[in-house]
Structure 1
Amino acid sequence: MLAPQRQQAILERVRRSGGVRVADLVRELGVSDMTIRRDLEALAERGLLEKVHGGATINGPGSTEEPGFAAKSMRQQPEKDAIARRAATLVRPGTAVALSAGTTTWTLAHHLVDVPDLTVITNSIPVADVFHRSPRADRTVVLTGGVRTPSDALVGPVAVAAIRRLHVDTLFLGVHGMSTRAGFTTPNLLESETDRELVASAHRLVVPADHTKWGTVGISTIAELSEADVVISDANLPEEARAELAERAGELIIAEETK
């Protein structure tokens, strides 16, 4: 097992139980005590868990806690890829789409690089970079200006002004959390304002969000659940969440992971 795979397994174990012991991980993963401690150190440096004596725990996110892009990109990778693959099937050649910031929308960008005659609006530096690295003569990418956040989003008055006069067929909105009470949320107030402008610019709102987003609440609401035309999540989405989203959103799609 490669280090990234092992670290992902450790993260999943922590999230299921709330904490892990080094001794248990050594036994379960069949590696040395030192290897596990290095993995925990690497994960702690990325802000994904907290090291404690003899193991590690993970803290639930606060309403204003905003992990960096690198930290978020390690989480739920198979689920995000399945969601992104399904989301990409909603994009037709010759249309204009907007992708907000986030690691799921960044994953989606990789599945859109071969779509012809596409116009892409984004306030995400990593998303724009995906298209920049796979250029096409028939594609236009517009990157808004603005103030850069820890998740590499461009937000604030400059971004809002750039988006205000635009109109897109579909917005793929990355979110920090979603809940019945708070809707789709973000921990960054400026990002919320920018995302609301993106929502207003779109004919169709698609929210690609993995199961861990359910029940997480950021400080600011971007949109209510009922404003989403489509929500795409993964097979681990709880039944309670499925029922709420099926009732409130236009359509709930569960993306299956490829074998």
Structure 2
Amino acid sequence: MLSVQLYSVRDLLSADQPGTLARLAEIGYRHVEPFGLGALHESHDERLVRARRLRRDLDAAGLGVSAVHAALPDAEQLAEECEIVGADTAFVPHPRQVPGFDAETFDDPGRLDAFADAIGAAVEAVDLRLGYHNHWFEWAVLPDGTTAFDRFWSRAHRDLLAELDVYWAVAAGADPGRELAELGSRAVSVHLKDGPAEVGAAQVPLGSGELDIPSVLREVSEVPWHVAEIDTTEHDPFALLQHNASVLTGSGTKAS
């Protein structure tokens, strides 16, 4: 099923959330993946107000929610926000979204184990599907020669889900097909974009960058959610997202 990560249009959302969501629906998206729930710099009341506003604007645009990207200030509070926006799944998109951790967490086996345990405790705490979304640094090589990515998932709670960002996996030198095979049924969503596969580089339309898109789409065909995303680009974001939606649906991803 097709979705789009709202971080792709973050500046446009800040300027005009209702209009931006309506435009995404107009170019063919029926589901979105919001970000910023559980924001650590906001109070719970502030987050609830923002969640209700988002739900109102999503309903007006006729958009559903595939999942959300969220911090973990408190698992029960996050579950309340997710219920408001209509999400049953939340992905932690970075270690810094869990109090006490940061990107360097994946360089240290002890801190990495503690991070996996912290998310595992949240999984146990609420009736909400929780998962983790990778960037590139998760493939740091640890002192024993294994990757932090493998150690994390070997330590992770059995019910923790995975959203594999295929682009960042390739940028890290990983094989997305191998990682999806290892994750198995944990992998319920993938992020799909294209570009030079370099940290900080602008992204381009699917099929015009370094990724072997036909091969990637075969590898992810059994994953339930295919999420289009832009981190940074020199293209018009709506035009790029419309192109990417056409590529994905033309390759078998269901639009709704």
Q: What TM-score comes out, normalization by structure 1 length?
A: 0.36
Q: Which has the higher contact order (CA 8 A, sep 6+)?
A: 2
Judging by fraction of residues, say which structure has more helix: 2
Structure whose CA Rg is larger: 1
